[in-house]
Amino acid sequence: MENSYLQISYFPYLFLDRIRSVTFCGFTVRNSKDFLDQIGNAKVKTKVGALIAMNRIHGKPIENMGIIEVRNEKSFLPLTREELKTLGDLRSALFLAGMAESSVSDDVNAGLFMLVSENFRVVHQNFTLDSPYTGYASGRILKQSDSGYKISELSYEKPLHVPRTTFSCDKKLLRALERTRRTSNRLFRLTMRATDSVMNAYANSEDVSHESRILELCRSFEILLQLPERDQRKVFKEAIRKYCEPDGEKQRRYLSERTGKRKEIEKGSRQVMWADRFYVLRNHIIHGDRLKSKDFVFYGQPHLQLGLWFFLVTAKRMMNKALGKDVFYDFVRCEEGKLVYDEGLWREATVKALQMLRRKRGHRSKQ
């Protein structure tokens, strides 16, 4: 092992302060302190600790980051091609479950708990036990790399736009994704590919334009729903009505834009109206039309936020169908002219109470 080519993989900006570990598809992401405590070999522990400490916040080593464990062991062997693919699923699933927990509130303090795509960045650090040197590789279009740096002399500062948000996640969603992977792999693959587009939309870097974010979010629906070439907006609105609109929602008359910016009167819920306006915004962006800041909001609420809510509810309801049972009761409801994310806790409790009552009645009838 002394001269072996080794590797450690981790999420430097996924902060496991409360949740000490999370498991998905055979991978475990463990709090870095706990991870180091479980390494028995003192030399390995010192080297891995030094590598992790290269990641810093305001010059100090990052604490409680997420270290990736594979094969339920600490062999530090480089990941295989298949393991790298599964790691991509892990990253997407953690992002989706994290956003489902941290981004469904519209409270004034919601931003304090929000996660962004950069929190789910993965780093692969190669090393050997007998060498004090390290290097780096960066870039997608133009690769930049260098080596020959002493580990103690090289550091990676957390970018200022990446929040130091404690990770939390919708564990029920994470479990449902794992079951969907086993029972309906096609839907799982579509969900993961669509989530990658949501991640692009929710990068916190100022280099990403509002237009790009909307297009990526729209693309996520196109992937998840497999929208057809023709009548995309119509099919999209019907899907939003089917998956996201609660029963008995008020129907309204609204103006729907057509080619040439002419308007036609349609009737639908506030949720369907959002879908219509969202797709119109998408069309304006694709055609290069000049847009104003008001075009990116829907009755005072950002399209980017609402798009995430509708994506989460749609994905959850599609998993319900694939799993053959109601795991999720989420929907987006309209309250005093404002769209609100509703996790359906009251509805879920009512359904479970009725199910329990039926089971008790059935047990009595057998007696």
What is the predicted pLDDT for the residue at 233?
96
**Best CA proximity match to 167, nearest among 200, 110, 127, 119:** 119
Per residue in 285-324, pLDDT (tens digit) is: 999 999 999 999 999 999 999 999 999 999 999 999 999 9
CA angle, 170 as apex, 169 and 176 as ends, to 5°? 130
Residue type for position 125: Q
The two tokens of residue 56 are 């810093």
Q: Are the C-beta atoms of 296 and 212 separated by less than 8 Å?
A: no
Per residue in 146-176, pLDDT (tens digit) is: 888 889 889 999 999 999 999 999 999 999 9
CA angle, 231 as apex, 227 and 235 as ends, to 5°? 55
List Cα–Cα distances, 62 to 12, 78, 141, 149, 153, in angstroms.
8, 23, 29, 20, 16
pLDDT band of 70, cuts 50, 70, 90: confident
Torsion angles phi and psi, residue 207, rounded to 5: -75, -15
Average pLDDT value for residue range 324-336:
95
What is the predicted pLDDT for the residue at 345?
84
Per residue in 268-287, pLDDT (tens digit) is: 999 999 999 999 999 999 99
Element (H, E) at 232: helix 232-244
Q: Looking at the predicted structure, is the pLDDT value of residue 366 above 70?
A: no
Q: Are the C-beta atoms of 284 and 295 separated by less than 8 Å?
A: yes
Give this prediction's pTM: 0.92
Q: Looking at the predicted structure, is the pLDDT value of residue 362 above 70?
A: no
What is the predicted pLDDT for the residue at 365?
60
Residue type for position 280: V
What is the predicted pLDDT for the residue at 219?
98
Mean pLDDT over each residue of the chain, to the nearest integer: 92
Average pLDDT value for residue range 329-353:
89
Q: Are the C-beta atoms of 131 and 137 separated by less than 8 Å?
A: no
The two tokens of residue 116 are 């962004």
- d(Cα 95, Cα 115) in Å, to the nearest integer? 8
